[in-house]
Amino acid sequence: MIRPATGECAIIDFCIHDVCLMMTVKRSGAASASFRTITPQAFRDVQLWLMAAPFLLGALLLVIFPAVLSFALAFMRYDALAPPTWIGFENFVVLFRREVFWIALRNTLAFAFTAAPLQVLGALLVALLFHPERRGVRVYRAAVYLTGILPDVAYALIWLWLLNPLYGPINLTLARLGLPTPAWLVDPRTALASLAIVAAVRMGEGMVLLIAARRTAPDSCYDAARIDGADRLRTFWHITLPWLAPWLLLLLARDLVMAMHSSLTPVLLMTGGGPGYATTLLPFLMYEEAFTHLRLGEAAAMMVTIFALIAPPVWLAGWLTSRRWSEHAE
């Protein structure tokens, strides 16, 4: 028997109860169904679906539907002024013949495969450092986590000030120490590496995930290692690292995806794709094609290309992670 709800939730529970009742009547074919025919499991299922409905509807309208339209635009000529016309693979042919596309592709791969491993490694080191409970550790965790929740625009502007070659705090500190002061975002040799460092510092979410994963490790394994006389390095290599491997793979896949398709804001605000084409990445080039030159078909073709680059590492990480979690379950 379902307990009646009180307060503001009474109306919602009553509506859910009516939905369950109608489902039960329809399924059983009995016209005189009673409240006792509604099982708690059916009530919970309908309640979960109703709570998930806003998210599912938003994902359908704001993610899935635009993605399908963008995929279709990759095979059309469209400038937002005239109706789209089907041209097949012409957008891809034109795209692959442009030198700037290959420059952007090379920069994107270099950026992603530099920033993502650094981000995962930094999150691992910080998680191991701040995992033990001690005085003030929560303040340090919050400070690191803050880098992951700052808005992209604010984060980019902060780093634009920090990396200023003339009055930025980093170069002023290096000058006082008698060390070289790089031009960072101004020098083509260091601009892309600077963006990779900026992206790698956002390790707050990874730190929280790895701290939570570390706490799931059984204490008996560490007690046995301590009894056997294993030092910290051997304990980390043989216990902690294998235990955290599935989460590290997930983080690496996620950071690769984020590096390949979410790098527009720092490039747009910090470098504008320059100097030269040193920091021209595929998301920035796609933005330029779509909103500056109104070549939405070619921009959609770049989107398909980015998806093709993202899919294999995500699938590989998912496959390896499922295997590792199966081993953990055994």
- What pLDDT score does 29 carry? 47
Q: What pTM was estimated for this model as a whole?
A: 0.79
Q: Could you tell me the CA-to-CA distances from 54 to 23, 35, 41, 59, 68 in Å, in that order?
A: 21, 27, 21, 9, 20
In 3D space, the residue among 44, 227, 244, 12 whose CA is nearest the CA of residue 124 turns out to be 244
User: Is residue 327 very low, low, confident or very high in pLDDT (cuts 50, 70, 90)?
Assistant: low
Pairwise CA distance, residues 49 & 42, whole Å: 11
- The answer to the question of residue 82 being in a domain is no
- What pLDDT score does 43 carry? 77
Handedness of CA 243, 244, 249, 254 (dihedral sign): positive
Single-letter amino acid code for the residue at 216: T
Same domain, 314 and 220: yes
Same domain, 111 and 40: no
Token duo for residue 141:
């965790």
How many CA atoms lie within 13 Å of 209's alpha carbon, on the beta-carbon side?
19
Same domain, 218 and 294: yes
Q: What is the CATH number of the domain that holds 304?
A: 1.10.3720.10
Token duo for residue 289:
């094609």
Pairwise CA distance, residues 16 & 162, whole Å: 54
Same domain, 105 and 140: yes
Q: Average pLDDT of the chain? A: 84
Residue 13: Cβ within 10 Å count: 16
- What pLDDT score does 210 carry? 93
Same domain, 18 and 108: no
Q: Which residue has the higher pLDDT, 30 or 311?
A: 311
146-185 pLDDT, tens per residue? 988 899 999 999 999 999 999 999 999 999 999 999 999 9
- The answer to the question of residue 244 being in a domain is yes
Same domain, 18 and 144: no
Strands 85-86 and 76-77, how do they pair? antiparallel
Number of domains composing the chain: 2
Token duo for residue 87:
């041209």
- In the predicted structure, residue 187 carries a pLDDT above the cut 70: yes
Same domain, 267 and 233: yes
Q: What is the DSSP string of 238-283?
A: IIIHHHHHHHHHHHHHHHHHHHHHS-HHHIIIIITT-STTTT--HH
- Report the range of poorest mean pLDDT among 11-15, 170-174, 190-194: 11-15
**What range defines the domain where residue 285 resides?**
94-148+201-329
Same domain, 324 and 286: yes
Using alpha carbons only, what angle is made at residue 58 by residues 57 and 61, rounded to the nearest 5 degrees? 85
- The answer to the question of residue 88 being in a domain is no
Token duo for residue 117:
């491993």
309-323 pLDDT, tens per residue? 888 877 887 777 777
Q: What is the DSSP string of 73-111?
A: HTTEE--SSS--EE-TTHHHHHHHT-HHHHHHHHHHHHH
Pairwise CA distance, residues 97 & 50, whole Å: 49
73-120 pLDDT, tens per residue? 999 998 888 888 999 999 999 999 999 999 999 999 999 999 999 999
Same domain, 53 and 99: no
Pairwise CA distance, residues 247 & 213, whole Å: 7
Residue with tokens 């450092």, as numbered in its chain: 129
Same domain, 62 and 206: no
- The answer to the question of residue 214 being in a domain is yes
- Contact (CB, 8 A) for 290 and 74: no
User: Is residue 324 very low, low, confident or very high in pLDDT (cuts 50, 70, 90)?
Assistant: low
- The answer to the question of residue 216 being in a domain is yes
- What pLDDT score does 9 carry? 47
Same domain, 1 and 128: no
Same domain, 215 and 320: yes
